[in-house]
Amino acid sequence: MLQKILNNKVRLIQLIFLVVLLALVRAFENALFYDPFLDFFKKDFNNLPLPNTNPFQLFLGVLFRYGLNSILSLGIIYVLFEEIAMIKFAAILYGFFFIILILAFFFIIYFTRENHNWALFYVRRFLIQPIFVLLFVPGFLLLKSK
């Protein structure tokens, strides 16, 4: 499959372009998204109180970032596999995981009394970083090879 991609230069350029766009989302995160946790998690956050947040703005910021990452990740999956069924399945998974993770994210922020900063860190990481594409591509590659 890798040889097939290398032989098709247009697909390789598309793949590189989409990966660069994912990197740009990360590079301009401070300017693009409302996220008071960006600075919070750069510090020694384990014993710090959570920053004050606007829940609606936080939700929209996380949704926007997750949406951008998901669209770019779906583009990567399409360039690699060119199968609409995989894109549909991955899109459903992205939607399902967003609902589960955003509920966990806000539950940790607003309903836990103990210090769960590490749990918040990891839940937030799955919401704001394109980690799922790193899981889906090998999984789809395995499925396609069978």
**Dihedral angle, C-alpha 46, 133, 130, 15, nearest 10 °:** 150
Structure confidence by residue, pLDDT tens digits, 42-63: 887 777 788 888 999 999 999 9
Q: Residue 34 class from Cβ within 10 Å (0-12 exposed, 13-18 middle, 19+ buried)?
A: middle
In the chain, domain spans:
2-34+52-145
Structure confidence by residue, pLDDT tens digits, 29-42: 988 888 888 888 88
Band of pLDDT at residue 6, cut at 50, 70 and 90: low
- Percent of the chain with pLDDT strictly greater than 70: 95
Sign of the CA dihedral with 130 first, then 17, 88, and 33 last: positive
In contact, 72 and 16? CB cutoff 8 Å:
no
